């Protein structure tokens, strides 16, 4: 599930929301305004080194 990061333009508060869809639901900050989407989901999903490598190794083992 992709994680969307929103930021309030007024107070600068950052909020992370895990959402299932292609259409992120924009949360509203407690101080008033709608929050602004900060990052695309892919930037977070592929975070971390060696993730893809480990995954490939697992697949190779199962195939053999």
Task: Compare residues 13 and 58 and give the one whose CB is closer to Zn ion.
Answer: 13
Placement of tokens 């639901």 in the chain: 25
Minimum distance of Zn ion from residue 15's CB (angstroms)? 9
Minimum distance of Zn ion from residue 37's CB (angstroms)? 15
Binding track, positions 5-34, relative to Zn ion; x by CB under 5 A: ---x-xx-x---------------x-x---
The span from the CA of 19 to the CA of 1, in Å, is 6
Contact (CB, 8 A) for 2 and 44: yes
């Amino acid at each position: 599930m992709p994680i969307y990061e929103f930021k309030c333009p007024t107070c600068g508060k950052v909020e992370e929301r895990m959402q299932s869809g292609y259409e992120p639901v924009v949360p509203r900050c407690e101080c008033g305004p709608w929050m602004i989407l900060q990052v695309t989901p892919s930037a977070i999903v592929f975070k971390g080194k060696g993730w893809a490598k480990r995954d490939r190794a697992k697949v190779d083992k199962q195939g053999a």
